[in-house]
Amino acid sequence: MKFSKVSIMLVCATFAFSSGALAGEINKGKLHLVEKLDVGGKTINPGEYKVEWTGSGTAVQVSLVQGKQTIATFPAHVTEEGSPNKSDAYGSSAKMEGSRSLTAIYIGGTRTTLELAPKEASQQMMGSSESK
Protein backbone atom coordinates (compact mmCIF):
# COMPACT_ATOMS: atom_id res chain seq x y z
CA MET A 1 0.00 0.00 0.00
CA LYS A 2 2.81 2.41 0.89
CA PHE A 3 4.58 1.66 -2.39
CA SER A 4 1.37 2.44 -4.32
CA LYS A 5 0.98 5.89 -2.71
CA VAL A 6 4.62 6.74 -3.34
CA SER A 7 4.31 5.64 -6.97
CA ILE A 8 1.22 7.77 -7.52
CA MET A 9 2.89 10.81 -5.94
CA LEU A 10 5.97 10.29 -8.10
CA VAL A 11 3.89 10.08 -11.29
CA CYS A 12 1.93 13.23 -10.34
CA ALA A 13 5.15 15.13 -9.57
CA THR A 14 6.59 14.07 -12.92
CA PHE A 15 3.55 15.42 -14.79
CA ALA A 16 3.59 18.66 -12.81
CA PHE A 17 7.26 19.34 -13.57
CA SER A 18 6.97 18.38 -17.23
CA SER A 19 3.95 20.68 -17.68
CA GLY A 20 5.93 23.58 -16.21
CA ALA A 21 8.81 22.94 -18.58
CA LEU A 22 6.50 22.84 -21.58
CA ALA A 23 4.74 26.03 -20.53
CA GLY A 24 8.08 27.85 -20.55
CA GLU A 25 8.75 26.74 -24.13
CA ILE A 26 5.26 27.62 -25.33
CA ASN A 27 5.61 31.24 -24.21
CA LYS A 28 8.08 32.15 -26.95
CA GLY A 29 7.81 32.55 -30.68
CA LYS A 30 9.18 34.41 -33.68
CA LEU A 31 7.80 37.20 -35.82
CA HIS A 32 8.98 38.50 -39.18
CA LEU A 33 7.42 41.86 -40.03
CA VAL A 34 7.45 42.95 -43.68
CA GLU A 35 5.83 46.34 -43.05
CA LYS A 36 5.84 49.15 -40.48
CA LEU A 37 3.14 48.56 -37.89
CA ASP A 38 1.77 50.52 -34.95
CA VAL A 39 1.61 48.66 -31.65
CA GLY A 40 0.27 50.48 -28.62
CA GLY A 41 1.05 53.88 -30.13
CA LYS A 42 4.60 52.89 -31.07
CA THR A 43 5.80 52.28 -34.65
CA ILE A 44 7.62 48.98 -35.16
CA ASN A 45 9.90 48.70 -38.20
CA PRO A 46 10.10 45.65 -40.48
CA GLY A 47 12.48 42.96 -39.26
CA GLU A 48 12.96 39.85 -37.16
CA TYR A 49 11.59 39.80 -33.61
CA LYS A 50 11.29 37.35 -30.76
CA VAL A 51 7.82 37.22 -29.24
CA GLU A 52 7.63 36.49 -25.52
CA TRP A 53 4.53 36.51 -23.35
CA THR A 54 3.77 36.07 -19.68
CA GLY A 55 0.56 35.76 -17.73
CA SER A 56 -1.91 33.19 -16.59
CA GLY A 57 -5.06 32.23 -18.39
CA THR A 58 -5.93 34.05 -21.59
CA ALA A 59 -4.80 37.57 -20.58
CA VAL A 60 -1.07 37.99 -21.20
CA GLN A 61 1.59 40.66 -21.54
CA VAL A 62 3.50 40.38 -24.84
CA SER A 63 7.01 41.69 -25.53
CA LEU A 64 8.61 42.11 -28.94
CA VAL A 65 12.36 41.69 -28.56
CA GLN A 66 15.03 42.44 -31.16
CA GLY A 67 18.50 41.28 -30.14
CA LYS A 68 18.59 41.96 -26.42
CA GLN A 69 16.36 45.04 -26.56
CA THR A 70 12.62 45.02 -25.82
CA ILE A 71 11.05 47.08 -28.60
CA ALA A 72 7.41 47.03 -27.45
CA THR A 73 5.24 45.59 -24.70
CA PHE A 74 1.46 45.30 -24.94
CA PRO A 75 -1.51 43.30 -23.59
CA ALA A 76 -2.99 40.47 -25.63
CA HIS A 77 -5.52 37.66 -25.45
CA VAL A 78 -4.38 34.06 -26.07
CA THR A 79 -6.66 31.90 -28.21
CA GLU A 80 -6.24 28.37 -29.51
CA GLU A 81 -6.83 27.62 -33.20
CA GLY A 82 -8.50 24.39 -34.33
CA SER A 83 -5.31 23.21 -36.01
CA PRO A 84 -1.64 24.24 -35.70
CA ASN A 85 -0.51 27.41 -37.47
CA LYS A 86 1.59 26.39 -40.48
CA SER A 87 4.14 29.16 -39.93
CA ASP A 88 4.80 32.29 -37.92
CA ALA A 89 2.48 35.03 -39.17
CA TYR A 90 0.65 38.17 -38.11
CA GLY A 91 -2.56 40.06 -38.78
CA SER A 92 -2.80 43.81 -39.34
CA SER A 93 -5.43 46.37 -40.20
CA ALA A 94 -5.54 49.88 -41.64
CA LYS A 95 -6.10 52.82 -39.30
CA MET A 96 -7.94 56.02 -40.24
CA GLU A 97 -4.76 58.06 -40.78
CA GLY A 98 -3.41 55.45 -43.22
CA SER A 99 -0.90 53.59 -41.05
CA ARG A 100 -1.32 49.91 -40.20
CA SER A 101 -1.77 48.36 -36.78
CA LEU A 102 -0.83 44.90 -35.50
CA THR A 103 -3.95 42.88 -34.61
CA ALA A 104 -2.69 39.31 -34.04
CA ILE A 105 0.41 37.12 -33.93
CA TYR A 106 0.19 33.47 -35.02
CA ILE A 107 2.87 31.24 -33.49
CA GLY A 108 4.05 28.69 -36.10
CA GLY A 109 3.85 24.99 -35.26
CA THR A 110 1.35 25.62 -32.45
CA ARG A 111 -2.35 26.37 -32.18
CA THR A 112 -1.58 29.61 -30.32
CA THR A 113 -2.76 33.01 -31.50
CA LEU A 114 -2.03 36.24 -29.62
CA GLU A 115 -4.81 38.75 -30.32
CA LEU A 116 -4.17 42.32 -29.28
CA ALA A 117 -6.28 43.48 -26.38
CA PRO A 118 -9.66 45.07 -27.18
CA LYS A 119 -8.26 48.55 -26.39
CA GLU A 120 -5.85 48.15 -29.31
CA ALA A 121 -8.54 46.70 -31.58
CA SER A 122 -10.98 49.55 -30.88
CA GLN A 123 -8.47 52.02 -32.33
CA GLN A 124 -8.61 50.31 -35.71
CA MET A 125 -10.85 51.14 -38.63
CA MET A 126 -11.00 48.07 -40.85
CA GLY A 127 -10.93 44.25 -40.46
CA SER A 128 -7.61 42.51 -40.15
CA SER A 129 -5.50 41.66 -43.18
CA GLU A 130 -3.86 38.43 -42.13
CA SER A 131 -0.67 37.16 -43.68
CA LYS A 132 -1.25 33.67 -42.32
The full 3-state SS of 10-36, as one line of letters, equals HHHHHHHHHHHHHHHHHCEEEEEECCC
Residue 2: per-residue pLDDT: 58
- Give mean pLDDT, residues 69-84: 94
Mean pLDDT, the chain, as a whole number? 79
Q: pLDDT, tens digit, for every residue of 15-63? A: 444 444 444 444 899 999 999 999 978 999 999 999 999 998 899 999 9
Residue 131: per-residue pLDDT: 47
Query: What is the SS3 assignment for 119?
Result: helix
